[in-house]
Structure 1
Amino acid sequence: MTPPRPLPELDRPGVRVQTLVLLRWAAIGGQLLALLIVGLGLGYPVPWMPALTAIAASVALNISLSARYRWGDRLDGRGTLVHLGYDLVQLSVLLYLTGGLNNPFALLLLVPVTISATLLSAQSTVALLLFALALLAALWRWHLPLPWPDGEAMELPALYSLGVVAAIALGMVFLAFYAWQVSAEARRRQAALVATQTALDREARMGALGSLAAAAAHELGGPLGTITLIARDLHDGLANDPDLGPDVDLLQQEVRRCRDILTGISERAEAEDPFPILPLPVLLREVADTFEPARVPIEIISGWPQGQVPIVRRGPELLHGLANLISNALRHAGSVVRLEAGSTASELWLRVSDDGPGFPPDLLPKLGAPFLGPSLSGSGSTGLGIFIATTLLERTGARLAFSNAPEGGARVDIRWHRADIELPPAAPAAPTEPNPHG
């Protein structure tokens, strides 16, 4: 299964317009409140006209966005980047007017960069981060005095100001990197889960189709039996008629053909029942047979006393999860893939192993995560197959452990509590009455 094609860096969905508008309204409210408290409440000299002009520009922009876009519209990556850049410029203007980096609210320069890291691509975030660092350096070099009572000018030591610059710059870089890593992991996991759900939906649709075919065959059996009786009576009375005899014979042939078709559909639907109850060795053989002819043989090793073979449900999670693990083992095996099964008093276990090179040691702690990437896997694999297998099998209550065997080769151990997966043996079906219509 191939992972979803990544979107171009700057064309990835950015953010809903109304989300951006609401965040900016919150910033506008905070800026106005700070000016009012400092200027009117504390009596500090504030450059009211230019400061209010900068805030009014954000108000006008928000109003125009609300009028232009509908509630659910989204800005793409480029549009979001431009708006976050504007927010940096507007905040920098206010900081320039009110003391530059000596203003405690200079810490808010971190906000647009952090938002970019959670919403946009790495390329966009790096561009905005560099722009923010440039504005930071400009504010450190040029700014109006910090408002202070009685018109006094407050000058902080140069070394302290340099420390503020370094702290904010390092905070920007760290928060941007951390937020981007977390959001990228969330995006990868979401894409992998979508792929997993697609596989399950496909299996469910196939199962529903088989059930529908079986139901249709059953429902059509009654009318077809009636047609069979009428065709037989017509044949008995008109078989020797030179005009109608051939048509009656053809009618009987087509009735028999319809019966054969419905019988075949019913048998195939029963054989493809997505949720039968099977002995575990039978299920393992079924999964292994889907890879025949395989590049290397698949050995199944299991042994239970007669009457103690565990019975499990043939669910899509179990089938797809085991198939993905076996497929991975077949790609890397040297001469054989082994499926071993056994049980204890409280657990049921499976082991999928091969005699290939094994998992890279630095990859073992990361197995089960989506999209590991070629640089980690060493083989061009994204790790999506193992992630899907892990996710599907965990839905059945399984616990997976990845390791390398002492004699070499990769090994995957799967364990269940017996109560989570084992079912009681199916009761024998009650005898049914023969169909009177044959």
Structure 2
Amino acid sequence: MTDASLTLAPPEADAGRRNMALLIQLRWLAVGGQLATIAVVSGLMDIVLPLPPLLAALVVLVLINLVSLALLGRGRAVTNIELTAALLFDVAALAWQLHHSGGLANPFASLFLLQVVIGAILLTPRSSWAIVAATLAALAALRLNPTPLLLPERYAVDPLGLYLKGSLVCFVLIAVLLVAFVTRISRNLRERDGALAAARQRAAEEDHIVRMGLLASGAAHELGTPLSTLSVLIGDWKNAPAVARNAELQEDLADMDGAVQRCKAIVGGILMSAGEARGEAPQLTTMRAFLTAIVEASRAGRMPGTVEFNDLFGPDVAIVSDPALRQVIGNVMDNAAEVSPDWIGVTASRDGDMAVIEIADRGPGFSEEMLEHFGQPYRSSKGRPGGGLGLFLLVNVVRKLGGNASVANRDAGGALVRIVLPISAIAREEGDAS
């Protein structure tokens, strides 16, 4: 049987990929903005620019983006070193462009501040200081023989005014990019915190299940001896001469023996689920036979016609019987029968590669509190101490198999429990024993 447990990537591992994706988006914006700036300066302002080195830098930025996309395509986490290298390339490309367009006299030299802020947010402290050192080195290098811009006559009269206009455009560009960047980072942090909270909640639930499993296994061991004693005593009573002649007592003893045997089967299933049954091969069956057996077991102790089974599953599928899944489905049917003893409906259908199992009843339905806190332990409508574990176990068993469970109230009255399960989670593989 395949392991269909959902293995989610840790939120910390996903952070590097999110940050790299954010850098890629910002770099595409930078490439587009620089192309627009070159077009405006050359076409509208008639300022002669050294196009080959400026366009070469843009080609390098595009190549960096393509390499970054390849890193994301690997499917593994992006490291701090890779993020640092990407930012260092950005610093080098900006320094190259400024060197060929006036050096420090270019008002867009302030864009180095954007690289420093991005590094401080995304990188480790040591790497952030490395970006600061790289920008300082770039600023120092820009003082060494930069290529001056040849301004037309109308701009040469007031070069400071042109510089101030360029500084204003640079300020607006930095402000817009920083707001967009910080907003996206804040959203990423909120999503990460939500994922961490969900992971902690899931870990707490799984720890709760482990403790319950240990208690159930211990109880199953302790129940084995008294159940065996009851079975022997019932057998002795059946063979006693005084009882053997009483047909009514024989009938009662048969019912008692059936109940004891069912209890022994339940205890055996608990031990098997806990891995304590030795030398027993996995039980191979089909999806239809698996569900039919659960329904028939529920019908055995109820009035005829009270359990309705609608088989809409379609072509049958070979599976390996999962004792835990069988038990939680049976628990849901037992709960439905308690509030609706005259009728419960079970419907099996298929939605693509998913098996859909619906259990309905004609009881009072779920309260608003139950619907809101569905799947949490000790949330029960029966008011019994320690109740409410059936749906909690259902949610966790189905989730371990890669599926999900939900509850709702029927329009016609009563409750509905819906289980959606990937068939591949319990499908029989070629290597399974037969």
Same fold (TM over 0.5): no
TM-score by length of 2: 0.39
TM-score by length of 1: 0.39
